[in-house]
């Protein structure tokens, strides 16, 4: 039972914790207000940052074939259900136990493919898979309604000669209805960026894909490729891509917005979101044959968190064309891509150390608005040519990123004969998915750190993943009454002092400071021995 004052109570109070104590008549009750997320946002005040815990590396494929260029997706309706696939050998797998064990998907209905796989689950548990057909590179869209066990053929483009399709899901511009969108490069149209969307109304209920919409400005010399697509909170859709100049760079990363999503309006004029020194074929020591592009990626915050509506752009840049010192950057926009923030460097190894970070992927947790980024990283490679996988998270809307964590247990290399002979290196991209405070990078690994790559170490890649958990700092637990005492436990940090304050109402600007404790790194109690009929409590740290 909430009293009329509760709405006002739900006003966020940065930098402290709020608790309302109500004691009335015969029934005594406590209305507790635990702002765990607010605590994270106010972590500067409280002196505690979220941490990331990396789980055991899992070898998804365990195959003698070469496995590289991955996609991974988590089912928001059942987060123990994951899907992963890769281009080099088209291993296509699903998991029902949170990524610990993996089964083969049946994709025979989709026909023969040359890969360029990408997958996404929607909120109805629909799993969409896009890939290129072996015959003429049509974009094939598969649908699984059973978590990845079997796929049916949902759609195939009329256009041929396509490249690098992506798929994404979200709401539509019609209330209560979802949408699924694909984008790809149509090379019969000289590098046009095409997008097509369909309404989704339930599990297995997917409408007809719209005709191919061309992103204006993309054709001929300004053709785009290596892009991404994302759906915003009101069903609006954005594509990103970089110019295909076939060179080391410099280059531009472009965007077009379809403001009404599945509505009749098309994509607007293209605009440059950022310049980069990474061209569409940039040579780095770790990926010398396949080369890399900037791997532009998009995420849009549709959560109810504090950064709802924020749009994120991920890309790779370097200090100058031909520099091996590639870095990963994120910019954000609060106005549908009209303006972008300054770039924030995601990798946290020393600036200017010459080491390559490449093939980044970004994913947004729609339960919180947190964004994760993972990437191959040569920071620990003396020759800047062997890789680990590193990752990090931003909990503050892309303003900063947590200290990076190493996700891969071993060190991999594309310079070994088995991989160099393919000229495919690590492929063109990696996978990442993020839901409910847990994210899963997916990458090509030939370290054999798990001991179950049948090709042994430093031979053919297997596809690996690991569960990475975001741990929010617990700073206040177990608020409780004991006789005439009110108590709350606080996780303290050395160097801070914690004060319990109370006030008779939230509109009263005068808070009475009660007891305090000096932080010692342990859980400590703050006590008010003068419980009144109604009090509002907060804990300050300074
Ligand atoms: Ca590819
Ligand atoms: Ca539209
Ligand atoms: Ca670097
Ligand atoms: Ca393998």
Give the number of other CB atoms < 10 A from CB of residue 484: 11
State the distance from the centre of ligand 3 to the C-alpha of 527, rounded, in angstroms: 50
Q: If 0-12 CB within 10 Å is exposed, 13-18 middle and 19+ buried, where does residue 17 land?
A: buried
Say which ligand is closest to the CA of 256.
Answer: 2
On the CB side of 356, CA atoms within 13 Å amount to 26
Residue 268 to residue 248: CA distance in whole angstroms: 29
State the distance from the centre of ligand 2 to the C-alpha of 349, rounded, in angstroms: 42
Residue pLDDT, tens place only, 55-104:
999 999 999 999 999 999 999 999 999 999 999 999 999 999 999 999 99
State the distance from the centre of ligand 4 to the C-alpha of 323, rounded, in angstroms: 31
Q: What is the mean pLDDT of residues 23-39?
A: 35
Give me the residue label for tokens 């939230």.
506
Residue pLDDT, tens place only, 6-20:
222 222 333 344 555
State the distance from the centre of ligand 4 to the C-alpha of 454, rounded, in angstroms: 7
State the distance from the centre of ligand 2 to the C-alpha of 71, rounded, in angstroms: 27
State the distance from the centre of ligand 2 to the C-alpha of 401, rounded, in angstroms: 34
Residue 401 to residue 132: CA distance in whole angstroms: 35
State the distance from the centre of ligand 1 to the C-alpha of 163, rounded, in angstroms: 8
Q: Which of 24-28, 59-63, 148-152, 484-488 has the lowest mean pLDDT?
A: 24-28
Alpha helices in 417-519 (DSSP H): 417-420
Residue pLDDT, tens place only, 427-464:
999 999 999 999 999 999 999 999 999 999 999 999 99
Residue 241 to residue 229: CA distance in whole angstroms: 9
Say which ligand is closest to the CA of 132.
Answer: 1
Residue 163 to residue 183: CA distance in whole angstroms: 10
State the distance from the centre of ligand 2 to the C-alpha of 196, rounded, in angstroms: 9
State the distance from the centre of ligand 4 to the C-alpha of 457, rounded, in angstroms: 11
354-384 in b/e form (b: 16+ CB < 10 A) is: ebbbbbbbbbbbbbbbbbbbbbbbbbebeeb
State the distance from the centre of ligand 2 to the C-alpha of 245, rounded, in angstroms: 29
Q: What is the mean pLDDT of residues 17-37?
A: 40
State the distance from the centre of ligand 4 to the C-alpha of 131, rounded, in angstroms: 20
Residue 316 to residue 321: CA distance in whole angstroms: 12
State the distance from the centre of ligand 3 to the C-alpha of 400, rounded, in angstroms: 17
**Per the structure block, which two tokens stand in for 263?**
């509505």
Residue pLDDT, tens place only, 365-419:
999 999 999 999 999 999 999 999 999 999 999 999 999 999 999 999 999 999 9
Say which ligand is closest to the CA of 323.
Answer: 3
Alpha helices in 2-102 (DSSP H): 6-9, 36-41, 43-46
The per-residue DSSP string of 254-274 comes to EEEEETTTTSS------EEEE
State the distance from the centre of ligand 1 to the C-alpha of 232, rounded, in angstroms: 26
Say which ligand is closest to the CA of 195.
Answer: 2
Say which ligand is closest to the CA of 328.
Answer: 3
State the distance from the centre of ligand 4 to the C-alpha of 61, rounded, in angstroms: 6
Q: Are the C-beta atoms of 360 and 328 separated by less than 8 Å?
A: yes
Identify any residues that bridge with 167 across adjacent strands, giving them in sequence order: 182
Give the number of other CB atoms < 10 A from CB of residue 446: 28
pLDDT at residue 42 above 80? no
State the distance from the centre of ligand 4 to the C-alpha of 439, rounded, in angstroms: 23
Residue 243 to residue 246: CA distance in whole angstroms: 9
Give me the residue label for tokens 């700092």.
473
- At residue 222, the 3 state secondary structure works out as helix
Q: What is the pLDDT of residue 219?
A: 83
State the distance from the centre of ligand 2 to the C-alpha of 264, rounded, in angstroms: 5
Say which ligand is closest to the CA of 174.
Answer: 2
Say which ligand is closest to the CA of 238.
Answer: 2
Comparing 190 with 104, which gets the higher pLDDT?
A: 104
Which H helix or E strand runs over 29?
strand 28-31
Say which ligand is closest to the CA of 137.
Answer: 1
Q: β-strand 92-95 against 78-86: which pairing, if any? A: antiparallel
Say which ligand is closest to the CA of 257.
Answer: 2
State the distance from the centre of ligand 1 to the C-alpha of 70, rounded, in angstroms: 10
Give the number of other CB atoms < 10 A from CB of residue 242: 26
Comparing 26 with 353, which gets the higher pLDDT?
A: 353
pTM summary value: 0.85
Say which ligand is closest to the CA of 357.
Answer: 3
State the distance from the centre of ligand 2 to the C-alpha of 427, rounded, in angstroms: 32
State the distance from the centre of ligand 2 to the C-alpha of 171, rounded, in angstroms: 13
Say which ligand is closest to the CA of 278.
Answer: 3
Domains of the chain with CATH codes = 4-49+479-541 (no CATH), 136-146+159-471 (2.120.10)
For the chain, state the CA radius of gyration.
25
């Amino acid at each position: 039972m909430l009293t009329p004052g509760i709405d006002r109570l739900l006003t966020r109070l940065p930098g402290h914790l709020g608790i309302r104590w109500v004691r009335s008549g015969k029934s005594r009750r406590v209305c507790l207000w635990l702002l765990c997320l607010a605590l994270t946002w106010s972590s500067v005040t409280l002196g505690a940052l979220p941490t990331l815990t990396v789980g055991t590396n899992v070898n998804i494929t365990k195959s003698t074939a070469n496995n590289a260029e991955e996609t991974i997706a988590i089912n928001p309706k059942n987060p123990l259900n994951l899907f992963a696939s890769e281009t080099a050998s088209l291993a296509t797998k699903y998991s029902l136990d949170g990524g610990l064990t993996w089964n083969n998907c049946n994709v025979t209905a989709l026909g023969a493919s040359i890969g360029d796989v990408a997958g996404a689950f929607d909120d109805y548990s629909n799993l969409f898979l896009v890939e290129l057909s072996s015959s003429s590179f049509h974009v094939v869209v598969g649908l699984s309604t059973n978590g990845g066990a079997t796929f049916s053929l949902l759609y195939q483009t009329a256009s041929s000669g396509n490249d690098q399709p992506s798929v994404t899901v979200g709401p539509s511009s019609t209330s209560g209805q979802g949408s699924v969108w694909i984008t790809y490069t149509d090379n019969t149209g000289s590098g046009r960026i095409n997008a097509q969307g369909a309404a989704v109304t339930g599990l297995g209920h997917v409408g007809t894909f719209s005709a191919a919409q061309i992103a204006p400005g993309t054709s001929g010399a300004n053709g785009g490729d290596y892009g991404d697509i994302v759906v915003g909170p009101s069903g609006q859709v954005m594509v990103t891509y970089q110019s295909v100049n076939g060179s080391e760079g410099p280059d531009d990363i472009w965007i077009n917005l379809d403001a009404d999503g599945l509505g009749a309006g098309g994509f607007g004029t293209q605009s440059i979101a950022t310049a980069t020194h990474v061209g569409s074929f940039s040579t780095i020591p770790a990926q010398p044959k396949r080369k890399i592009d900037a791997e532009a990626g998009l995420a849009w915050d549709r959560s109810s968190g504090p950064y709802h509506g924020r749009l994120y752009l991920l890309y790779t840049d370097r200090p100058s064309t031909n520099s091996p010192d590639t870095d990963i950057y994120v910019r954000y926009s609060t106005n549908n891509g009209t303006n972008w923030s300054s770039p924030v460097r995601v990798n946290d190894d020393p600036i200017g150390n010459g080491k390559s970070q490449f093939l980044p992927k970004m994913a947004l947790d729609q339960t919180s608005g947190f964004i994760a980024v993972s990437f191959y990283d040569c920071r620990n490679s003396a020759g800047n040519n062997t890789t680990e996988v590193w990752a990090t998270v931003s909990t503050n809307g892309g303003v900063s990123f947590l200290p990076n964590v190493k996700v891969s247990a071993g060190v991999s290399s594309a310079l070994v004969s088995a991989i160099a002979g393919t000229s495919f290196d690590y492929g063109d991209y990696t996978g990442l998915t993020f839901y409910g405070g847990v994210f899963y990078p997916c990458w090509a690994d030939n370290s054999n750190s798990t001991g179950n790559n049948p090709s042994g170490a430093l031979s053919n890649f297997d596809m690996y993943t690991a569960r990475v958990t975001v741990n929010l700092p617990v700073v206040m637990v177990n608020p409780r009454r004991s006789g005439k005492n009110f108590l709350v436990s606080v996780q303290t940090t050395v160097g801070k002092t914690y004060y319990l304050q109370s006030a008779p109402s939230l509109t009263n600007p005068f808070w009475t400071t009660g007891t305090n404790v000096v932080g010692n790194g342990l859980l400590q109690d703050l006590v008010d021995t003068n419980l009144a009929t109604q009090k509002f409590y907060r804990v300050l740290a300074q």
